[in-house]
Amino acid sequence: MAQREVFAGGPWPRYILLLSTLFLLLGGLMMVYSASSVADFVHQQDSMHHLKRQALGALAGLLLLVVAMFVDYRRVGWARTAIYGASLIGLVLVPFIGVGKWGATRWIDLGVFTVQPSEYAKLGCVMVAAYLLQQLRRGRITTSQFWKQLFIAVGVVAALVMLQPDMGTTVQILLAVFLVLLIGGISGKLLFGAVGAGAALVAVAIAAEPYRLRRVFAFLDPWADPLDSGYQSIQALYAFGSGGIDGVGLGMSRQKFFYLPAAHTDFIFAIIGEELGLVGSLSVLVAFGAIAYAGTRIALGTRDVYGRLLAGGLTAMLVTQAVINMAAVTGLVPVTGIPLPLVSFGGSSMTFTMLCIGVILSVSTYGARTERRGRTQGKESAREDTAERRGDRRSHLSCVDGGRPPSRRRA
């Protein structure tokens, strides 16, 4: 019979997500050039060195976004396995063939460009967590099987990333999986118990490494060591203070003249605050707020549980990463080394983020509710929803708390 497909959450969330992404992408290219041009002119004799590399990453990211957007996420289970498997292999190879930088080995040099496997591992873990929750909800695996498989899949990745060492990305992977479980309706007691255990492990990891302790002390009082551990945070605050309401002007930053380390990567938000002021900083905040709104609307309007968890988890992961970066740059949390999505320099971060947004757009298209007309109206949708929803239309995951899977319950 006749049917009409609509975008999940309506058309506007899709347009808002695309426009916000393009705004941050183009603004990020502009700010990468501004933040890196002086250092590039001195060290590379080419003020556009990093801009060219970022532009290539942006083009590759756009290609991935378009491909992912037009691929039905429900029909490519192999992609989930490929992304997770490839990132896992990359993480295993990093200690042997990886490239070191800033005291850590996180990249693999492929000649033309370098790849950071841990970035794609985040996407792989989110996809695996969403898939396992879907299988649990449909009664295809038991609760114990769910936790065992999730622990192995995520635990192995987290351990390999932690060995690089990269505590910031490790925490982000665990946080992303936590958000997927939270969206999926896992018992609050289980989740917050896991949070408590995770916090204890983080505390032990911080205490085990002197440089992590220095970061914590620098966060508490950066002026206690203004020339070493607190230097970067202090210079970032100088940048924001100089920017005022409307900034010192695009390209007119003084902190990029070798005062602020990582000005074009992790601390690019400070250059935005200096050159474009409060107005520019709030524009970035509004753009990420728009992405959060659009992604949430798409997730809530999605028909199947896997798409709902995938869109919601990826949205939460990207927005949380942005919040952590901006909080670290403004001195609200310790410095983590997490880049600002779509804005900071980095090919792996750029392509990973664009791929995630492409997947969310795919969910918007193929996870849309179908309006059917005629005598068969709603029969197929009802069959899909039977395993996913109660009669009152509220989502549930009661079998996670030890109950019997929905498929085994008596009518």
The verdict on residue 107 lying in a domain is yes
When divided into structural domains, the chain yields a total of: 1
Residues 51-65 have a mean pLDDT of 95
Please measure the distance between the N-terminal and C-terminal CA atoms of the chain and give it in whole angstroms.
30
**φ, ψ at 368 (rounded to 5°):** -65, 150
Residue 99 is predicted with a pLDDT of 80
Position 130, amino acid:
A
The verdict on residue 75 lying in a domain is yes
Q: Using CB atoms within 10 A of its CB, is residue 278 exposed (0-12), middle (13-18) or buried (19+)?
A: middle
The verdict on residue 205 lying in a domain is yes
Residues 336-349 have a mean pLDDT of 91
CA-based nearest residue to 252, from 35, 24, 45, 25:
35
The verdict on residue 316 lying in a domain is yes
Question: What are the beta bridge partners of residue 100?
Answer: 105
Q: How far apart are CA 15 and CA 18, in angstroms?
A: 5
Position 310, amino acid:
L
Range with the poorest average pLDDT among 51-65, 129-143, 222-236, 359-373? 359-373
Angle at which helices 49-69 and 347-366 cross, to 10°: 20
- What does DSSP say about strands 3-5 and 98-101: parallel, antiparallel, or unpaired? unpaired
The verdict on residue 161 lying in a domain is yes
Q: How far apart are CA 109 and CA 339, in angstroms?
A: 20
Residue 88 scores a pLDDT above 50: yes
Sign of CA dihedral 103, 107, 110, 111: negative
At 102, is the pLDDT very low, low, confident or very high (cuts 50, 70, 90)? low
Residue 411 is predicted with a pLDDT of 33
User: In sequence order, what DSSP letters do the residues of 28-90 get, joined into one string?
Assistant: HHHHHHHHHHHHHHHHTS-TTHHHHHHHHHHHHHHHHHHHHHTS-GGG-HHHHHHHHHHHHHH
Q: Judge contact between 113 and 50, C-beta under 8 A.
A: no
70 is in which domain, residue-wise? 3-390
CA-based nearest residue to 28, from 65, 64, 53:
53
Report pLDDT digits (tens) over 353-392: 999 999 999 999 998 754 333 333 344 444 444 444 444 4
The verdict on residue 403 lying in a domain is no
The verdict on residue 141 lying in a domain is yes
Residue 336 is predicted with a pLDDT of 82
Q: Judge contact between 238 and 261, C-beta under 8 A.
A: no
Residue 395 is predicted with a pLDDT of 44
Rounded CA Rg of the chain: 22
Residue 112 is predicted with a pLDDT of 72
Residue 382 is predicted with a pLDDT of 43
Q: Using CB atoms within 10 A of its CB, is residue 375 exposed (0-12), middle (13-18) or buried (19+)?
A: exposed
Residue 402 is predicted with a pLDDT of 42
Residues 242-248 have a mean pLDDT of 93
The verdict on residue 228 lying in a domain is yes
- The pTM is what? 0.86
